């Protein structure tokens, strides 16, 4: 599986989870949720885009390497 | 000060928990696949590096042989003893062979340098990626199980509350969660008793006009969203409510009355009237929050959806209102 496919699949999964989160926060608004958001969700919001970016960067370099190395 | 829990859909929390679990698996799979792809690329680059290193050596040997051949050719020159004239062979082919060997060597050295350069760039990108992947992997293996377990616990607490809450209460309020303690994983245990300044009062079971119920955030869009009970079963239940249960309750009937009625008619709980009573007047009743002249749904989206489909104007529901 190419890194571009992996990147797209992870991005799609993340979008789906984020949509579910938005839906849930509209129905769950109390200190427990705020704490959950602070302790877990914000960390996830940092980690996933950073991972997607790292995969994207790696995919670019690997694609260029494959094109240029004979 | 305690603050009231504000969860208007247990199902939404369950769905979030499932979505988190699915994402965790997909993310782990993605990290594994990316790692495999990276290993494959690194191996490919190692092979190309070894190939061009060997080619450089082989072509260096070609140059050495070509130069030796050229040297032998040039050494074949001689002086004519009769005329004293020197004869030097042109060695054109040998000179061309040397030039070609050098060109081939130069090409191999360029390719070798190119592979080294790209290997360096890939190694650099791989290091940056691996650092991030390691953080993500750690997050998935530690924070994720904690978060899904926490949500599972929260769902169980809410379900337990919905099952165990008293039908009426003096100062009864939504379950409250203790204010979270800094530095701890969220997971406050639901308990009764909101603070006097921020609680909700249970106003008991009331007939509520469905026009005033806000279903804009309902997770139920069609009959495909019914899982525990089918839409058809719910329609039959609502008809029993309208035809038998609600009129009897209006005249003072309670749960015991409907249990006796079921026994008299030979109906088990699943098909009887007691179940309908429990679903609308008992522990499983619809729960609404009164905000202004509107009602927000805490529990009962499916029943409300079917009721609207059937054109029912009002339903019994337990109404919580802000403490004056």
Q: What is the DSSP letter of B7?
A: B
Give DSSP secondary structure letters for A3-68. HHHHHHHHHHHHHHHHHHHHHHHTTB-SHHHHHHIIIIIHHHHHHHHHHHHHHHHHHHHHHHHHHH
* H or E segment and range at residue B320: strand B314-322
Residue B26 has its nearest CB partner, among A9, A35, A36, at: A9
Distance CA B185, CA B190 (A): 15
Are the beta carbons of B280 and B316 closer than 8 angstroms? yes
The whole-number pLDDT of residue A7 equals 95
Q: What is the DSSP letter of B6?
A: -
Question: Does A51 contact B125 at a Cβ distance shorter than 8 Å?
Answer: no
The whole-number pLDDT of residue B158 equals 80
Residue B122 has its nearest CB partner, among A10, A40, A62, at: A62
Question: Does A26 contact B217 at a Cβ distance shorter than 8 Å?
Answer: yes
CA A31 to each of CA A61, B5, B92, B162, B186: distance values in angstroms, whole numbers, following the listed order:
44, 7, 90, 20, 9
Average pLDDT over residues B134-155: 89
Q: For residue B117, how many other CB atoms are within 10 A of its CB? A: 13
Could you tell me if residue B183 is left (phi over 0), alpha (psi between -120 and 50 degrees) or otherwise beta? left
**Pick among B125, B152, B179 to test the A interface (most A CBs inside 10 A):** B125
Give contacts of A8 with chain B, Cβ < 8 Å: none
* H or E segment and range at residue B133: helix B92-138
Three-state SS at B191: strand
The whole-number pLDDT of residue A37 equals 92
Residue B188 has its nearest CB partner, among A17, A21, A32, at: A32
Average pLDDT over residues A3-28: 94
Distance CA A60, CA B129 (A): 12
**How distant is the Cα of A38 from the closest Cα of chain B, in angstroms?**
9
Split at pLDDT 50, 70, 90, the class of B324 is: low
Question: Does B118 contact A65 at a Cβ distance shorter than 8 Å?
Answer: yes
Split at pLDDT 50, 70, 90, the class of B181 is: very low
Split at pLDDT 50, 70, 90, the class of B194 is: very low
pTM: 0.56
Q: For residue B101, how many other CB atoms are within 10 A of its CB? A: 21
Average pLDDT over residues B29-40: 91
The whole-number pLDDT of residue B184 equals 34
When mean pLDDT is compared over A63-67, B170-174, B220-224, the highest value belongs to A63-67
Question: Does B8 contact A66 at a Cβ distance shorter than 8 Å?
Answer: no
Q: Is B316 exposed, middle or buried (0-12, 13-18, 19+ CB in 10 A)?
A: buried
**How distant is the Cα of A48 from the closest Cα of chain B, in angstroms?**
7
Give the list of residues 6+ apart from residue B259 with CB closer than 8 angstroms, or none.
B272, B274
Split at pLDDT 50, 70, 90, the class of B70 is: very high
Radius of gyration from C-alpha coordinates of chain B: 41
Does A31 contact B at CB distance below 8 Å? yes
Average pLDDT over residues B178-206: 45
pLDDT tops 50 at residue B175: no
The whole-number pLDDT of residue B183 equals 33
Give contacts of B119 with chain A, Cβ < 8 Å: 65
Question: Does A30 contact B6 at a Cβ distance shorter than 8 Å?
Answer: yes
Split at pLDDT 50, 70, 90, the class of A55 is: very high
Question: Does A68 contact B118 at a Cβ distance shorter than 8 Å?
Answer: yes
**How distant is the Cα of A42 from the closest Cα of chain B, in angstroms?**
12
Give contacts of B124 with chain A, Cβ < 8 Å: 61
């Amino acid at each position: 599986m190419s890194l571009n496919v992996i990147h797209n699949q992870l991005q799609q999964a993340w979008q789906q989870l984020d949509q579910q989160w938005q839906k849930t926060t509209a129905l769950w608004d109390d200190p427990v949720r705020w704490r959950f958001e602070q302790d877990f969700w914000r960390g996830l919001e940092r980690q996933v885009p950073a991972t997607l970016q790292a995969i994207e960067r790696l995919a670019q370099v690997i694609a260029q390497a494959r094109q240029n190395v004979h | 000060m305690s603050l009231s829990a504000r969860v208007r859909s247990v199902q939404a929390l369950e769905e979030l928990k499932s979505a988190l679990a699915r994402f965790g698996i997909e993310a782990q799979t993605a990290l594994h696949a990316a790692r495999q792809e990276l290993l494959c690329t690194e191996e490919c680059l190692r092979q190309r590096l070894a190939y061009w290193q060997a080619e450089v050596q082989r072509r260096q040997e070609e140059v050495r042989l070509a130069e030796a051949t050229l040297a032998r050719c040039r050494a074949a020159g001689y002086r004519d003893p009769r005329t004293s004239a020197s004869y030097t062979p042109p060695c054109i082919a040998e000179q061309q062979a040397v030039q070609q060997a050098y060109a081939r060597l130069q090409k191999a050295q360029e390719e070798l340098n190119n592979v080294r350069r790209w290997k360096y760039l890939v190694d650099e990108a791989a290091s940056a990626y691996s650092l991030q992947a390691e953080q993500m992997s750690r997050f998935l293996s530690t924070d994720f199980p904690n978060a899904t377990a926490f949500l599972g616990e929260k769902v169980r607490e809410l379900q337990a509350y919905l099952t165990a809450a008293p039908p009426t209460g003096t100062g009864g309020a939504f379950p409250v969660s203790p204010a979270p303690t800094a530095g701890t994983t969220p997971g406050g245990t639901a308990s009764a008793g909101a603070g006097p300044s921020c609680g909700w009062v249970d106003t008991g079971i009331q007939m509520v006009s469905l026009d005033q119920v806000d279903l804009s955030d309902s997770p139920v869009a069609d009959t495909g969203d019914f899982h525990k009970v089918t839409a058809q079963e719910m329609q039959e239940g609502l008809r029993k409510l309208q035809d038998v249960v609600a009129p009897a309750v209006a005249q003072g009937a309670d749960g015991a009355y409907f249990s006796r009625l079921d026994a008299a008619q030979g109906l088990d709980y699943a098909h009887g009237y007691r179940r309908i009573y429990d679903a609308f007047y008992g522990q499983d009743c619809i729960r609404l929050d009164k905000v202004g002249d509107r009602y927000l749904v805490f529990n009962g989206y499916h029943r409300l959806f079917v009721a609207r489909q059937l054109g029912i104007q009002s339903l019994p529901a337990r109404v919580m209102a802000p403490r004056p």
